[in-house]
Structure formats: C-alpha cells, structure tokens
Amino acid sequence: MAIFKKKVSPEQQETIDKLRQVLGDKDFDRFQRLVDDELAKAPKVAIIGKTGVGKSTTINSLFGLEEKVSHTTTGTTEASENNIALPDGGRLSVIDMPGLGEDIELDKRYIEIYKRVLPSADVVLYLVGKNIRICQRRLEFLL
C-alpha cells in the first residue's frame, strides 16, 4: 500500500484493516490514490505583507533565488510561484505575493490575486517590517 510505505504498528494496521473493511476494496483503493496524489504535491507557502517589507528579499535569502527586488518602486505585481528542491529530496512551493498598502487602486487588484491564490496555500507567512518596533514600544507602554 503506497500511503503506508513505512512499517506500521499493530494498532495502525488494525485501523487500516478496519478502514478497508468499512470502505471496501474499490473505495479504499480510490482513497489511497487520492491521498497519494495529495502527498505528491509540494506544500505551498504564500509570503504576504506590506509593500517593501522584504518578501522577495526574504525568499531570495532563504532559498538562493533571484526574485525581482525593488527598493524604490513596486517589485512584485503578480503572484510568483517557485518550486524549490529541498536537501532531503522533498519539494516546497513558495509563492511571492504582491505587497499591499502602497496604492488603493493597486490594492484592489492585488486583493483579487490574494483571493485567487491564498486558498490554495497550505501556509501563509505574513512578514512585518522593522517598524514593528513602534508597535512593540506602544505595547510596552501599555503594560
């Protein structure tokens, strides 16, 4: 069985056998194929945040990529997906998202991109900028 490649405990095998019994061979095989298909997909991580926070720079630094970076104008204007080979042989899909907060009209367009792309992400990483210190100082003041 493909989804149970590794050795399973007697308790796990009992659960597998019960599942096969409940589903029947045909549906269990279909279930197994669906799980295998899902496991074959690279996990998707979407990187979001305000314009200029360093989303593309972070991706470039972490994965040795060369995403377009701009310190003076809008850099990423579309969702940019990169499939990255991991050292252990796995894969990871990283989506560099456009930044929000620069322009109301651009934000409207980018929000549509967010609505289209984010539901397919397994993880959404929200980057905050160095101005977070201001928020931390405010919080410290309140405490």
**pTM reported for the whole predicted model:** 0.65
Q: Compute CA 71 distance to the chain's CA centroid, rounded to the nearest angstrom.
A: 25
90 or 140, which is more confident: 90
Strand order in the sheet with 91-96: 80-85, 91-96, 44-49, 123-127
Per-residue model confidence as pLDDT tens digits over 41-97 = 889 999 998 888 888 888 888 888 776 665 545 567 888 898 988 887 788 999 999
Distance in Å from the first CA to the final CA of the chain:
56
In this structure, are residues 42 and 92 in contact, taking their beta carbons and an 8 Å threshold?
yes
Question: How far apart (Å, rounded) are the C-alpha atoms in residues 129 and 15?
Answer: 47
| Model confidence at 11: pLDDT above 80 | yes
Domains of the chain in start order, with CATH, are: 8-40 (no CATH), 44-142 (3.40.50.300)
Q: What DSSP string runs through the chain?
A: -GGG-S---HHHHHHHHHHHHHHHHHHHHHHHHHHHHHHHSPPEEEEEEBTTSSHHHHHHHHHT------SSS----S-EEEEEE-TTS-EEEEEEPPPBSS-HHHHHHHHHHHHHHGGG-SEEEEE--TTHHHHHHHHHHH-
pLDDT of the residue at 123? 93
Most confident of 14-18, 54-58, 100-104, 139-143: 14-18
